Structure 1
Amino acid sequence: MTTPSSDAAYPFEAAPVPISTLTDETGSISQDAISAYVKQAFAMIRASHGWAKGKVIKTEVAPVQSFKGNSVHKGRLAKCGWHGRHSVHPPSEAKGLTWDDFKAGLLIDHPQQETEYISEMTAANQIDELKKGVAEVWNNTYNLPSLTSNRDFLELLITLELPPHPTPYSEAHEALVLQQLRGESLPASEPQSLRSFIVIQQPVSHDKCPHRSSEGYVRAYYASVEAISETQAGETDWRMFLQSDASGRIPLMFQEMAMPSKTAPDVPCFINWKSSKKATGKEEAQKSVPAVAEPTGAETQGAASTAPIDSQHATGSSAAADASAPAPAAGVDAKTTTTDEPAVA
């Protein structure tokens, strides 16, 4: 299966698009633009299942299947293929991480958190907000080995939690997502529906962030999609693909040869970082739980004399439960907090 064609008005490719062509008169991303990128991303996800498979890269957390799609572009980008990876993560083999943990680490505060587990990424600065929580422009900075100039990327970032569906990223699911983007009411979820989200990045140009060559950075470009969904078996399915142009003096031939091995390391880096952060969050929550003092006889008598009969029983039971609860009870709260509301990096 070949790579889908790019939208002429809203191209999805490793070349910058002027931000003014994606926004309306208020400076918000237009409905047409966001819908076009969602359509292209979904088409790319479906097409990628038929791309040529490359090496299976073994990592400490999971085997990662690499694959490649052809370029449908002209000029310089004709030499830049689409490179991807796919991995499946049951909690037992992902250091206990669940789909909610992947969501907390990859959907929420995506670029800020990347600086914590991608060692070369030194900064992520928001340049513009086009639709709160959905579409933003970020300038990401990378410090590379001494023989290679440092790079920076200016990217439109689209992050969407998608409505549950039995077949994530299918044509039927795409229609449901577009319906959601139009603000229309959605039907009730079908049986055995699965949760999913998507992260789309497209290089842009923006007046607020010109090239930073005076600071020693070469402006590079990539277009990418990350599609993360849960499976019926309770696993997390993680599929990513991108087209990249490193710019500068790196020959495209060498860049293309290196790409398959460059996509896999993010998988163990993320899982190791997120599992460590999750464990640290539990420990901190446990430390913060105050000890419950044993009530004195006078306090007990005072409480008994003023509380109604029904509440005497409830209060006594709750106090006994709190006093005897082991530390893991705090871990439950920490898990929920870490999963749903990760700290901003």
Structure 2
Amino acid sequence: MSDEFELTVTPLKVSEIPSEDAILKAGRAILESTSSWKEGKTYHHNVKTLSRGKGPKDGANWHCRVSKHTKDDATFEEFWGKLGENKAENEKEFIHVIKKVTLVKKLSETQSIWTLYYTFPPPVSPRVFTVLQTTLLEPDPHRTGLVISIPIDLSDDPELAKLEEHGVKGRYTSVERLSESEDGTVEWHMATSSTPGGSIPTFVTERSMPGQIAQDVPHFLKWLKSTRQAQG
């Protein structure tokens, strides 16, 4: 496939997955573009949000959040250990609408396909999101970690498709970057585009997106603190 791959909510079949380099390049391009996005509210004192309307190749609008954290919040090792490794399983612990995650296929040490099962209060039906997650940890000059998720359609692989839960298929793509500064401060930068599927009006999901992605930050930090305490 061409190295001009772009991140969208349009799902790829397993046979269409581009190279890791193409995925990483597309992820970096999205994060770099956020500097020109429209600024939104700041939540929880330090979680800034931004947004961008959908372009001609996008299936949905884009939303972004940026937060900075001292070692009192979490070290780079703690962030990467929970978000760069076993991300889906860890998300289930602090994003409470995720009820089940399943590893569909491990493609390499840095790529794996996961399916995530979300439940919501009635009348919203359960949603299933299946994604390929690609990770990269760069040690120099300061540690930077990337986690990129792109939507995957398993319909051309019946054996893998059996691992998906039943529910309305939603789609999301996201890029997360963890960047460590000289003083140990970590910047958590995330951009995402998503569609819940089904009959939920677009304006409803768009209106709530900034607050939803922002609240993942305090939820993560609260959960991380509880794991620290459990470890003594």
Question: What stretches of structure 2 of length at least 5 have no aligned partner?
Answer: none
- TM-fit CA distance, 1:245: 0.7
Partner of 2:179: 229
Offset at residue 233 of structure 1 (A): 2.6
Per-residue CA deviation, residues 89-138 of structure 1 (Å, 9 max, x unaligned), is: 0123x2xx21111111111111111111111111110111111x211110
What SS does the corresponding residue of 1:239 show, helix, strand or coil? Answer: strand
Taking the aligned partners of 1:89 and 1:51, their CA distance within structure 2 comes to: 22
Candidates 26, 38, 63, aligned match of 1:40:
26
Q: What's the Cα RMSD here?
A: 1.9
3-state SS of the aligned residue for 1:113? helix
8 Å contact kept, 2:104–2:163: no
Moved >4 Å (runs of 4+): 210-213
- 1:209 and 1:225 map into 2 onto residues whose CA distance is 25
- Structure 1 residues 243 and 8, CA, compared in 2 at 3 Å: closer, same or farther? farther
- Give the counterpart of 2:212 among 237, 262, 268: 262
| Structure 1 or 2: more helix by fraction | 1
Unpaired stretches in structure 1, ≥5 consecutive residues: 1-6, 23-31, 165-192, 284-345
User: Is 1:147–2:123 an aligned residue pair?
Assistant: yes
Task: Check whether the contact 1:212–1:219 (CA below 8 A) recurs between aligned residues.
Answer: no
User: What SS is found at the alignment partner of 1:233?
Assistant: coil
Per the alignment, residue 209 of structure 1 pairs with: 161
Distance 2:110 2:214 in 1: 26
- Pick 1 or 2: higher relative contact order, CA cutoff 8 A, min separation 6: 2
Amino acid at match of 2:129: F
Which residue type is aligned with residue 204 of structure 2? F
TM-score using structure 2 length: 0.92
1:52 to 18, 31, 38: 38
Which amino acid in the other structure matches residue 71 of structure 2?
P
CA contact (8 A) 2:68 2:186 kept: yes
Matched ranges for 1:127-142 at <5 A: 127-131=104-108, 133-142=109-118
Q: Give the C-alpha shift of residue 160 in structure 1.
A: 1.4
1:13 aligns with 2:8: yes
- Matched residues in 1 for 2:104 and 2:75: separation? 32
AA at the equivalent of 1:50 = S
Q: Deviation of residue 8 (structure 1)?
A: 8.2
Q: Name the aligned partner's letter for residue 62 of structure 2.
A: W
The alignment status of 1:196 with 2:140, answered yes or no, reads: no
Distance 1:46 1:199, change over 3 A: same
CA contact 1:211–1:219 (8 Å) conserved in 2:
no
Aligned residues: 227
Percent identity among equivalent residues?
27
Q: Residues 53-86 of structure 1, C-alpha deviation per residue, up to 9 Å, x if partnerless?
A: 100112xxx5210001232235x82xx2110100
Shift of 1:210: 6.1
Q: Take 2:14 and 2:192, find their aligned partners in 1: how far apart are those partners?
A: 20
Report the structure, 1 or 2, having the larger strand content. Answer: 2
User: Which residue is equivalent to 2:90?
Assistant: 113
Structure with larger Rg: 1
Partner of 2:70: 90
